[in-house]
Structure 1
Amino acid sequence: MRIVPIASESLGVRSLAVYIKTRKDNILIDPGVALGPKRYSLPPAKAEIEKLKLVQKSILEFLAMANTIIISHYHYDHYTPGANYENKHLIIKNPSRNINKSQKRRASKFLKDKNYTSADGKNITLKECRIKFSPPLPHGEKGTRLGFVIMTMIEDKKKIIHASDTQLLNKESIKWIIDNMPDTLIASGPPTYILKHTWKSGIKNINRIIQETDAHIILDHHIIRDKRYPRFFKELEKEPSTFAKYLGREETPLEAYRKELHMIEKGEKVKIPFRYSLSSL
């Protein structure tokens, strides 16, 4: 199987979109992208807006190539409402069960006049691969108001798990991952930039996955919004990749450095840990 990370915080936007090419299937998981509306009480910097435009175009290109689209939940950084899903096998988080009110409204509007398969807890076979879906699991810690997500395991000789926004913070998610023994795990790390206590629990849970599986871990999304994420990675027993690192690119966590980007765009000299110019995006 070939894994193509498309968009994430290490690539400059909010997303965990990934394209997976098996022997006979082209699968796109969570084809959405967004920017944080406010960070440090600031709107997105010009660099973030330009990056968003580029990624939106890229996601639509991958969507056109894919024959199967998987949507783990209905936050805008995980699906694109106005895209063309015609003639696609649309496999989604159940839009009416284990879902909060805002996502239920979004799902109802999005799915109008569309054919789809609810995935929660199911096994689905495509041409040459098997897809196993987790039951609905918390978007982060147990009891969160952010609702539920589904994890996806694609098996075609090897196993890839896309853990979506579980943030590796609830016991059920960790158990499901370990029980299924993936070769590669793609996951959002904990949102340590807003919930400081998730640093400790995130380290503990990810180390358990490292100890009990031999998975190559690709960790991105919420954790990369924290400037301290390199330190978080070093505290793990095995350092994970980000989307950018997996692709051999420089990590550009634009949102984490929004304050500095605004200063640079005003002509001030500020040090940031990545190269910056609008032409390099």
Structure 2
Amino acid sequence: MRVIPLASESLGVRSLATFVEAGGLRILIDPGVALGPKRYGLPPAEVELKTLQQMRKKLQGYARKADIVTISHYHYDHHTPFFEGLYESSSEDYAREIYAGKILFIKHPTENINFSQRKRAWAFLKNAEAIAKKIEYADGRSFDLGGVTIEFSPAVPHGSEGSKLGFVVMVLIDDGSKRVIHASDIQLLNRRSVKWIIEKNPDLLITGGPPTYLGPRATGSWETGVKNLNEIILETNAEVILDHHIVRDKRYPEFFDELEKRPKTFAGYLKVEDRPLEAYRRELHKIEKGEGAEVPFRL
């Protein structure tokens, strides 16, 4: 099995897009990239917009190779919509290239879903149904694809139990020699997700940490995230790739320091420098204006 992280906060955009080659199958997980429209009251810096275009180009390249596409939920950093979007770097052409002729395993569009994601799911399916090879609602189901098993969790909260952000599905890919779980936006904050991951006992876990960058709105999420991820590490001894929401917080290396086994970011897994652009948006705007500011990565 070959796992290729494609785009994430440590690579400069909002995403957890991943490409997996297993048993002759080529699987694209959560094919979306986006930028936060406002952070510190500021729009994306120019370097963020440039990086978004680079990540979009990379994503489209891997989409052309994929046989299967999975979508954990309908936020735009996890799937590419069919509209023209500046901060999603999206278009109908990009979306068609990703989904046309592919088998789509997707979060159920009407069950365990909030109003916002239900609308987005409807818009997605209105366009995708006519061009996809096949669409399966994946929640809680398992698919045997000729020596490779793709299993999806039941719908679990997007973050804490009772989250207003709705639900997501995790995916396990097992080729008989390696088990990989991709757990988008569980944020390590709900017990249902933790129990499912431990039960499935992955060799590699790809997940997003808690949204500690939200400050008071995420009170307690740091401690809960550390506790839950340490439990997963101790119970499974899985290698962990940790990225996404936690890397929007400049303090994310300190979060990593509190874990029983130090994870890698997407960038770290790819052996390149972390470039958490959004976390340093204030500094990036100052640099672009010629004002004095520093960031801990190359521009």
Q: After TM superposition, is the score higher than 0.5?
A: yes
Spell out, residue by residue over 1:87-108, the C-alpha distance to the aligned partner (whole angstroms, 9 max, x if none).
1001100001000111111111
Q: Deviations over 1:237-263 (max 9, x none)?
A: 111000000000000000000000000
- Mapped to 2, the partners of 1:275 and 1:12 lie a distance apart of 12
1:279 is aligned to none
Match of 2:165 in 1: 146
**Unaligned runs of at least 5 residues, structure 2:** 83-94
Match of 1:212 among 228, 235, 253: 235
**Structure 1 match to 2:187:** 167
Provide the C-alpha distance between the structure 2 equivalents of 1:128 and 1:49, rounded to a whole number of angstroms: 41
Partner of 1:68: 68
Report the counterpart of residue 140 of structure 2 in structure 1. 121
Among 196, 199, 205, the residue aligned to 1:176:
196
Partner of 2:69, secondary structure, is: strand
Q: CA deviation at 1:268?
A: 1.6
Deviation per CA, 1:72-96: give whole Å up to 9, x if none: 0000000002312111001100001
Match of 1:64, SS state, is helix
Q: Which residue of 1 aligns with 2:90?
A: none
TM-score, normalised relative to structure 2: 0.91
Q: Is the 8 Å Cα contact of residues 25 and 127 (structure 1) preserved in structure 2?
A: no
2:20 aligns with 20
Query: Within 5 A, what are the aligned runs for 1:29-48?
Result: 29-48=29-48
State the alpha-carbon separation in 2 of the partners of residues 123 and 22 from structure 1. Answer: 16
TM-score scaled to structure 1, two decimals?
0.97
- What is residue 104 of structure 1 aligned with on the other side? 118
- Provide the residue aligned with 1:263 in structure 2: 286
Measured against aligned partners, the alpha-carbon deviations of 1:199-236 in whole angstroms (never above 9, x if no partner) come to 01001001101110110000000000000000010011
CA displacement, residues 176-217 of structure 1 (integer Å, 9 cap, x when unaligned) = 000000000000000011114200100100110111011000
The reply on whether 1:185 has 2:213 as its aligned counterpart is: no
AA aligned to 1:159 is R
Length, aligned pairs only: 276
What code does the residue aligned with 1:105 have?
Answer: K
User: Could you tell me how far apart the structure 2 residues matched to 1:134 and 1:109 are?
Assistant: 24
Amino acid at match of 1:86: A
Matches of 1:154 and 1:249, distance apart in 2: 25
Counterparts of 1:125 and 1:48 in 2: how far apart (Å)?
40
Conservation of the 8 A alpha-carbon contact between 1:74 and 1:107: yes
Matched to 2:158, the amino acid is: H
Q: Match for residue 88 of structure 2?
A: none
CA contact under 8 A between 1:24 and 1:128: conserved in structure 2?
A: no
* 1:57 counterpart letter in structure 2: K
Residue 203 of structure 1 aligns to a residue whose secondary structure is helix
What's the CA shift for 1:269? Answer: 2.4
What is the CA distance between 1:23 and its match in structure 2?
Answer: 2.2
What's the % identity of the aligned pairs? 57
What's the Cα RMSD here?
0.8
How far apart in 1 are the matches of 2:146 and 2:2?
16
What is the alpha-carbon distance in structure 2 between the residues aligned to residue 58 and residue 127 of structure 1? Answer: 28
Q: Output the amino acid matched with 2:104.
A: L
Q: Describe the superposition over 1:28-60 as per-residue Cα deviations: whole angstroms up to 9, x where unpaired.
A: 000001100100000000010000111111111
Partners of 1:12 and 1:171 in 2: CA distance: 30
Distance 1:37 1:125 in 2: 40
* Code of the aligned partner of 2:221: T
Structure 2 CA distance, aligned partners of 1:270 and 1:127?
54
2: CA distance between counterparts of 1:177 and 1:124? 18
Task: Name the CA distance, whole Å, in 2 between partners of 1:239 and 1:55.
Answer: 26
